């Protein structure tokens, strides 16, 4: 009708009137028709509604049982079948200026160069999870200005991604970080309320770039990680298989935004692709390697994902000759309202020492926060070996340098373990709380001994790095009956300590199902 009117010759009567009359007629006609059909329609509607409800219910049931990920984004067509397994790996380190080593052959790619390189390579997406966001240090004196500049430069680079059309996604447990608030203008930030989920913290620290390259290690997005702290990690390039699996860990955090409960069932697209039973076979710089990603705590582990503790156990079990551990804190305690003995890792190491004669070296940081009981536990492990043939346990403390204002420089923030055949690089200190309540991720790389040229595989490189630190002038031997003074208030603290062996009411409910060996 409208067309007819418009299509007709030049209008002689005001179009408006004709148009509205026609409209009115049309309307009343339709009302009349509708009334007539109402009865018929009513029963039809009923049918449709019931049908729709049944459909909805069926879809819901299907969704629940198949755990299909309705919210999940696609994985860019990269699957475990077509992903790339021919990868490059580089060891990255941050060595503070005042930490020097006499040997010259062990310089690795500086962490800041590695991270900038990753951002340079980025083409579509950068996903970051970090326990800290403090790249723009506002509190540094002029002497450390140069080092603080590294953090500032990285922050600038991250802010510049948006302009280049690269999406930046950040998962974080910090609600009140001013830096993240500023960054949210340039990125998408998802907040995870770890207090509500596990009563812990988000300590995971890794990057996934373009679902192809990854970084994982001890460093966080803190300017100190790029300057005054000693950090170690790895960057893996062109490795979509590994990136795909680590991206799934990221995606799990991503979906927990503002949730105050942990889903009883995870989507299929979050389950692990590879694990300790089924490693991912890869080539790292043309060296055959077996790899898998681990995650914590166990309530954050969907089907098939190996928890960090089992990854650590795997590496300890597969060691044949030695286990070298470089860690900030080593403390077999769960510290909540009460101190409780937590034997998981301690037990594994004692077993390796006594039952399998594996040589163990522990390199622990000596710093302000070092728990005074660290010494007692380490010393007790050392005394186990006394007078035992072929039992070798050594421990050393890595010293930091105290500055005039009382802050410590050169803290060894490393979190790795290396054996004759494998490396574990994780996000945690080896303290009970971390594994029980906090979120973290890790990676295990196994490479057979003696493949390739000598000292050329990643496992060998990490071992050489450990030995460099071990024999350096920054370490102090563990001495009998002498607690190393890592902080001045330490001895006063000792008097107030009491360790419970019986689970207390609160810790019993917090205990994980596989709480003991």
Ligand X SMILES: *[C@@H]1O[C@H](CO)[C@@H](O)[C@H](O)[C@H]1NC(C)=O
What is the contact surface with ligand X in residues (CB under 6 A)? 88-90, 103-105, 136, 138, 152, 155-156, 175, 182, 193, 195-196, 237-238, 260, 285, 389-390, 454-456, 458, 461, 464, 467
Task: Single out the residue of 497, 155, 516 nearest to residue 338, CA to CA.
Answer: 497
Q: 333 forms bridges with which residues in the sheet?
A: 341
Number of DSSP helices (H) and strands (E) in the chain, helices first: 14, 28
Who's near 320: CB < 8 A, 6+ residues apart? 358, 419, 420, 421
CB of residue 89 vs ligand X: minimum separation in angstroms? 5
* Cβ pair 215, 207 in contact under 8 A: yes
Which position's Cβ is nearest ligand X? Answer: 196
Measured distance CA(307)–CA(329) in Å, rounded? 20
CB of residue 106 vs ligand X: minimum separation in angstroms? 9
CB of residue 285 vs ligand X: minimum separation in angstroms? 4
Give the CB-side neighbour count of residue 169, counting CA atoms within 13 A: 18
Residue 62 in tokens: 């299907």
Residue 86 or 479: which CB sits closer to ligand X?
86
Measured distance CA(283)–CA(89) in Å, rounded? 9
Residue 298 or 460: which CB sits closer to ligand X?
460
CB of residue 274 vs ligand X: minimum separation in angstroms? 20
CB of residue 179 vs ligand X: minimum separation in angstroms? 7
* Cβ pair 132, 204 in contact under 8 A: no
Provide the b/e sequence for 315-347 (b: ≥16 CB within 10 Å): bbbebeebbbbbbbbbbbbbebeebbebebbbe
CB of residue 452 vs ligand X: minimum separation in angstroms? 8
Residue 371 in tokens: 């728990």
Classify strands 411-412 and 408-409 as parallel, antiparallel or unpaired. Answer: unpaired
Residue 236 or 331: which CB sits closer to ligand X?
236
CB of residue 387 vs ligand X: minimum separation in angstroms? 11
Residue 1 or 107: which CB sits closer to ligand X?
107
Residue 210 or 310: which CB sits closer to ligand X?
210
CB of residue 448 vs ligand X: minimum separation in angstroms? 14
CB of residue 450 vs ligand X: minimum separation in angstroms? 12
Residue 138 or 516: which CB sits closer to ligand X?
138
Residue 267 or 461: which CB sits closer to ligand X?
461
Residue 368 or 394: which CB sits closer to ligand X?
394
Residue 183 or 312: which CB sits closer to ligand X?
183
DSSP 446: E
Residue 296 or 447: which CB sits closer to ligand X?
447
Say whether 427 sits in a helix, a strand or coil. Answer: coil
Measured distance CA(34)–CA(431) in Å, rounded? 73
Measured distance CA(93)–CA(213) in Å, rounded? 17
Provide the b/e sequence for 388-425 (b: ≥16 CB within 10 Å): eeebebbbbbbbbeeeeeeebbbbbbbbbbbbbbbbbb
CB of residue 342 vs ligand X: minimum separation in angstroms? 24
- The values of phi and psi at residue 64, to 5°, are -65, -45
Lookup result for tokens 């800290």? 132
């Amino acid at each position: 009708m409208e067309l007819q009117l418009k299509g007709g010759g030049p209008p002689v009567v005001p179009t408006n009137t004709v148009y509205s009359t026609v409209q009115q007629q049309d309307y009343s006609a339709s009302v009349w028709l509708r009334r007539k059909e109402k009865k018929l329609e009513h029963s039809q509607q009923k049918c449709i509604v019931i049908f729709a409800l049944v459909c909805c219910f069926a879809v819901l049931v299907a969704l629940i049982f198949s755990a299909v990920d309705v919210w999940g984004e696609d994985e860019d067509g990269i699957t475990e079948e077509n992903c790339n397994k021919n990868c490059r790996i580089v060891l990255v380190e941050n060595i503070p200026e005042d930490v020097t080593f006499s040997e010259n052959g062990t310089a690795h790619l500086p962490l800041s160069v590695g991270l900038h390189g990753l951002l340079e390579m980025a083409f579509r997406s950068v996903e970051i999870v970090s326990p800290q966001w403090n790249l723009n240090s506002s509190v540094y004196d002029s002497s450390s200005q140069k080092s603080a500049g590294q953090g500032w430069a990285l922050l600038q680079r991250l802010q510049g991604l948006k302009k280049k059309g690269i999406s930046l996604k950040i998962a974080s447990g910090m609600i009140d970080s001013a830096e993240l608030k500023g960054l949210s203008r340039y990125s998408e930030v998802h907040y995870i309320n770890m207090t509500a989920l596990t009563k812990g913290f988000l300590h995971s620290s890794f990057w996934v770039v373009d679902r192809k390259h990854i970084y994982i290690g001890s460093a966080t997005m803190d300017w100190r990680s790029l300057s005054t702290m000693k950090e170690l990690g790895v960057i893996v390039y062109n490795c979509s298989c590994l990136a795909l699996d680590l991206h799934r860990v990221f995606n799990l955090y991503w979906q927990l935004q503002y949730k105050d409960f942990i889903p009883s069932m995870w989507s299929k697209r979050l389950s692990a692709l590879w694990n300790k039973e089924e490693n991912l076979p890869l080539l790292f710089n043309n060296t055959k390697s077996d790899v898998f990603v681990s995650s914590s705590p166990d309530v954050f582990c969907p089907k098939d994902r190996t928890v960090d503790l089992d990854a650590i156990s795997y590496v300890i079990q597969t060691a044949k000759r030695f286990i070298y551990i470089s860690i900030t804190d080593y403390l077999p305690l769960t510290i909540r309202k009460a101190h409780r003995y937590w034997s998981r890792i301690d037990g594994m190491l004692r077993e390796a020492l006594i039952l399998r004669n594996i040589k163990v070296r522990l390199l622990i940081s000596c710093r302000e926060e070092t728990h005074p009981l660290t010494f007692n536990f380490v010393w007790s492990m050392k005394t186990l070996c006394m007078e035992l043939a072929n039992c070798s346990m050594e421990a050393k403390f890595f010293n930091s340098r105290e500055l005039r204002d009382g802050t410590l420089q050169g803290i060894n923030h490393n979190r790795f373990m290396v054996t004759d055949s494998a490396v574990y690089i994780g996000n945690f200190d080896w303290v009970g709380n971390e594994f029980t309540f906090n979120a973290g991720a890790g990676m295990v790389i196994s490479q057979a001994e003696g493949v390739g040229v000598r000292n050329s595989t990643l496992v060998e490189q990490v071992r050489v790095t450990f030995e460099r630190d071990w024999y350096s002038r920054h370490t102090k031997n563990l001495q009998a009956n002498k607690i190393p003074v890592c902080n001045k208030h330490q001895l006063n603290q000792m008097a107030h300590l009491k360790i419970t062996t019986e689970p207390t009411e609160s810790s019993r409910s917090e205990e994980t199902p596989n709480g003991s060996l």
